[in-house]
């Protein structure tokens, strides 16, 4: 029985059978045979395509599924299906939408081990991290379910008993385009506020990680959304272009690279569609000499090595005040050497493989340039071959710490998107702020210090949308997430995301006679 196609009989045996199923799947055994598009409440093969894609199990290098990329006709069918469902969903009260979303969150909780296992198989991150991602996902839906029933406008009293009010209304059919590093979680980040506001969504996951989002679509059908409210189309750039240019799409939310984000924005602009862009980063993490050293070291680890370093908001430029540089570096190197690399489905693994060979080659290209430009390899940065024979074809490398780094080095200026930390010394607060902001990115930034005044002063000066004091890479759903500069605009999460999935209507009510100047 395929993990991805759970029949009616299995549904009756929840949750224990699903837990047994997920635990029975070991590395190197999974292969998907089910359709990966989801339209009209069912898995379907696209009615037309623009080529095929293959998705891998990064830990073994095996192809685990081959699928057709959705063509223009299939994209149109998915959008029309969502458009019909929108007419039903948008007329429901916030409380009615809330109940359905809470039911979806409950199902995700019940099936969390199954979802996390599938995410690990397709993405390569450790099962430990995947479980956290799934937990954040159902929390996201619960959070926006709570806001769905609380959406309200404003009443404004005008002279003579007249008044005005505002209505927050849904946009229509929204398009979500996700990234491969957090496939299930990013889908929930986009879907939660979209559905809470009364919208429908057509979602395109990354072609590298097509599996788990289809599971999410099935869950929402089971939870009771109108048929077609959440549809999934698979594909790459061509499929994304059909989505962005479609005249019936009201909004596009994209997570991914800066070059692709620029193209999405350009395509959406032709139809005057609003966009939310969550793009790349090269974020600074500033460690002052008065920091709690153990916490600062742990923060730097969290800022660089989650999901094999494939995280857009990672603090990969670690600025360390010179008088603690040696001690800090020694402690970081000790910890990095202890990271357990291997089969991501094993409980004690903390670092799995990179997403694919292309990404691994890209990371090693950056490391080659770093060596040529004078960076010192303090640890790691090498191919890693696990002892387990079934993992020999996986895309593994040892986490890397670079010293002797300068601001003009390629490894310091450009986003590597791999497990590579660059350590740079600094002397003064003024100096480090100028250097930290000398980038076209502005997604995140962090500071470690015991001086609370300096902490607030530094984050106020950082040109970044998400800042951390004495911690890093914590993103509760209650907090808005998004960037400055080329890291994008708009926000995901938090109450403010409601504004990006709705539009405001003003209604002016005259209670007296109308006078005319004519």
For the chain, the first-to-last Cα distance in angstroms comes to 77
pLDDT at 10 over 50: no
Would you state the pLDDT for residue 14?
39
Inter-axis angle of helices 212-223 and 183-196, nearest 10: 30
Q: Is the distance from CB of 443 to CB of 312 less than 8 angstroms?
A: yes
Query: pLDDT by residue (tens digit) across 233-258?
Result: 999 999 999 999 999 999 999 999 99
- Any idea what the Cα angle at residue 205 is, between residues 199 and 208, rounded to 5°? 175
Count of CA atoms in the C-beta half-sphere (13 A) of 173: 26
Would you state the pLDDT for residue 15?
40
Q: Catalytic: which of 278, 331, 415, 429?
A: 278
pLDDT at 424 over 90: yes
**CA-CA distance, 77 to 80, in Å (whole number)?**
5
Q: Which of 110, 189, 180 is nearest to 476 (CA)?
A: 189
Would you state the pLDDT for residue 20?
44
5 pLDDT band (50/70/90 cuts)? very low
Mean pLDDT for the stretch of residues 354-367? 98
Residue 515 makes CB contacts below 8 A (sequence gap 6+) with none
Q: Is the distance from CB of 497 to CB of 190 less than 8 angstroms?
A: no
How far from chain centre, in Å, is Cα 231? Answer: 18
Q: Is the distance from CB of 117 to CB of 127 less than 8 angstroms?
A: yes
Would you state the pLDDT for residue 25?
80
Query: pLDDT by residue (tens digit) across 322-352?
Result: 999 999 999 999 999 999 999 999 999 999 9
pLDDT at 4 over 60: no
Query: pLDDT by residue (tens digit) across 255-271?
Result: 999 999 999 999 999 99
**CA-CA distance, 206 to 408, in Å (whole number)?**
32
Q: What are phi and psi of 423, to 5 degrees?
A: -105, 130
Establish whether 119 is a catalytic residue: no
pTM, entire model: 0.94
pLDDT at 88 over 50: yes
């Amino acid at each position: 029985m395929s993990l991805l196609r759970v029949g009616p009989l299995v549904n009756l045996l929840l949750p224990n059978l699903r837990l047994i199923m997920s635990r029975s799947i070991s590395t190197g055994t999974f292969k998907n045979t089910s359709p990966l598009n989801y339209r009209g409440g069912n898995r379907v093969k696209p009615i037309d395509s623009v080529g095929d894609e293959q998705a891998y199990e990064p830990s073994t290098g095996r192809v685990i599924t081959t699928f057709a990329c959705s063509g223009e006709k299939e994209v149109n069918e998915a959008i029309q299906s969502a458009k019909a469902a929108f007419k039903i969903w948008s007329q429901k009260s916030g409380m009615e939408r809330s109940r359905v979303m809470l039911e979806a969150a409950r199902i995700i909780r019940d099936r969390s081990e199954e979802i996390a296992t599938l995410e690990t198989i397709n993405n390569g991150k450790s099962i430990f991290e995947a479980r956290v991602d799934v937990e954040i996902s159902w929390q996201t839906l619960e959070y926006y379910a709570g806001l769905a029933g609380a959406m309200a406008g404003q009443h404004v009293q005008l002279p003579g008993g007249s008044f005005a009010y505002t209505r927050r209304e849904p946009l229509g059919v929204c398009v979500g385009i996700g990234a491969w590093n957090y496939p299930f979680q990013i889908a929930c980040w986009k879907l939660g506020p979209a559905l809470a506001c009364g919208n429908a969504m057509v979602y395109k996951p990354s072609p590298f990680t097509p599996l788990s989002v289809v599971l999410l679509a099935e869950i929402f059908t089971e939870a009771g959304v109108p048929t077609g409210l959440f549809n999934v189309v698979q594909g790459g750039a061509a499929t994304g272009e059909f989505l962005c240019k479609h005249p019936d799409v009201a909004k596009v939310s994209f997570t991914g690279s800066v070059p692709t984000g620029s193209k999405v924005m350009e395509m959406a602009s032709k139809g005057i569609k609003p966009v939310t862009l969550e793009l790349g980063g090269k974020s600074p993490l500033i460690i002052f000499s008065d920091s709690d050293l153990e916490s600062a070291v742990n923060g730097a680890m969290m800022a660089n090595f989650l999901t094999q370093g494939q995280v857009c908001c990672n603090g990969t430029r670690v600025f360390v005040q010179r008088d603690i540089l040696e001690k800090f570096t020694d402690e970081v190197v000790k910890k990095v050497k202890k990271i357990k690399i291997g089969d991501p489905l094993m409980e004690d693994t903390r670092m799995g493989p990179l997403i694919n060979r292309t990404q691994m080659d890209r990371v090693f290209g950056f490391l080659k340039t770093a060596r040529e430009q004078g960076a010192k390899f303090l640890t790691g940065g090498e191919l890693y071959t696990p002892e387990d024979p079934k993992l020999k074809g996986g895309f593994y490398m040892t986490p890397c710490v670079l010293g002797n780094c300068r601001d003009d080095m390629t490894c310091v200026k450009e986003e590597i998107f791999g497990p590579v930390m660059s350590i740079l010394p600094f002397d003064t607060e003024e100096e480090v702020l100028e250097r930290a902001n000398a980038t076209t990115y502005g997604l995140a930034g962090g500071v470690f210090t015991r001086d609370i005044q300096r902490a607030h002063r530094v984050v106020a000066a950082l040109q970044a949308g998400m800042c951390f004091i004495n911690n890093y890479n914590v993103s509760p759903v209650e907090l808005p997430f998004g960037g400055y500069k080329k890291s994008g605009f708009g926000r995901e999460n938090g109450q403010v995301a409601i504004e990006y999935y709705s539009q405001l209507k003003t209604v002016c009510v005259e209670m007296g006679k109308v006078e005319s100047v004519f």
